Amino acid sequence: MYSRLRVLGLTKPFVRKTILPDWWDDEVATSPAGFAEALVMISRYIGIDPARLRDPEADLALPTPTHVKFKRSRGSSAEDVSLAQNLAVQVMRHAMVGTPAAPKQLPTSALDIRAQILDKGEAWVGLEGLLHFLWDHGVPVLHVANYPRSAKRMDGLATRVGDRPGIVVSVGRKNSSWLLFVLAHELGHICLGHVEANGVLTDANVDADSEDDEEKAANEFAVELLTGSARRTWRATGTWPNARDLARYAIHHGRQHQIDPGHIALSYANNKNFYPVAVAALKLIEPKPRGGRTIDDIMAERLDWSRLPEEASEFLMRMTQIERP
C-alpha cells in the first residue's frame, strides 16, 4: 500500500505521520480487519474509494472535484499542484463539519464587506478583521502548510462543499499582508460567482498582472476591499525610497486612509518591480510576522472541535500544524 501511494506523491513518512492516527502500528494491518481499518482511514483523508485501495491491480488516481478551475502563472500546471489541491480540499471537508455557524449570504460588493469590517472599529481591513468577518458568515479559512516534500503548494484556493464556501491559504510567506491579499483574492472568486457548488478554483500563483478575466476581476475585488478603490496603487515619484522611508510612509498613509500598511508596501513593489525594498519595509511594519499563525489561531478558536471525531481532529491539526485549544 505504501508503494502504491508513493506513486501519487504520498510518501510513507507522510502517510504514517499525517494520514494515519497517532495510535497506528503497521502490525495492526497483518489481520484482514486491521488492514480494512487502515484502508478506511486512508480513504477518508485522501478521497480515494477504499475498494480501489484494496485492489492491488487497480491504478490509483487523485479524485477530481466536480467543477474545477485552475489558474496558473509562471509556467505552473494543474498537475504540479494536484496533490496539494486534493489534500487541501479534504482538510476543508473535515473543517466544515466543525464549522458551527450556518453559512450566510456573502455580499457581492467588496465595498460592502469593507464597510462592515470598518464599522466594527478596525483601523483598516487587515488579516484578522477579514478572518473574523468570514467565520461570522460561516466561511472557514484554513492555513494548510503541511504537504509531502514533493508536493508543490498553491498560493490559495476557493472551494464550495455543497454550497458552503471555504478558503485555503497555502502561500509560502509569513507576513500578514501577503496572506491578506491572497485571502481577499480568493474571497473575490467566491463573491463574484467563479466557484460552483462542489467545485474548486485553485490559484497556483496569485498574479497581480494576470490577463485571465476571472483573475483580473478577483484582483480588482481584493484591491477594492483593502483600499476602497479597485484601481488604487502606489508609485514612487522621484527617487525610490529606502525601506525605512517606505515603512514610515505606509504606516502613516495606512492610518490616514484605513489601508493595511503592508499592502501599500507590496503595491509599491509590484508597480516598481522592486521587491527587496518592500520586503525590508514589511519587516519594519511587522517585525515578527505571524500571518499563518493568525489564521491558525482564529480557526482553532472558531471551530467546534466537539463536532469532529478524534481522528479527524488529529488530521486537521497535522495539516494546519496547530495544537487544539
Measured between alpha carbons, how far is 70 from 204 in angstroms, rounded to an integer? Answer: 7
Give the global pTM.
0.94
Q: State the residue for C-alpha cell 483574492.
A: 185
What are 51-83's pLDDT values in tens digits? 999 999 999 998 877 778 888 766 667 788 899
What are 181-214's pLDDT values in tens digits? 999 999 999 999 999 999 999 999 898 878 899 9
| Mean of per-residue pLDDT scores for the chain | 91
- What percent of the chain has a predicted confidence (pLDDT) above 70? 96
CB 223 within 8 A of CB 230: yes
Q: Which of 62-66, 113-117, 173-177 is the least confident region?
A: 62-66
Q: Looking at residues 74-102, what average pLDDT do you find?
A: 87
Write down how long the chain is.
325
Q: Which helix (H) or strand (E) holds 251?
A: helix 243-257
| pLDDT over threshold 60, residue 325 | no
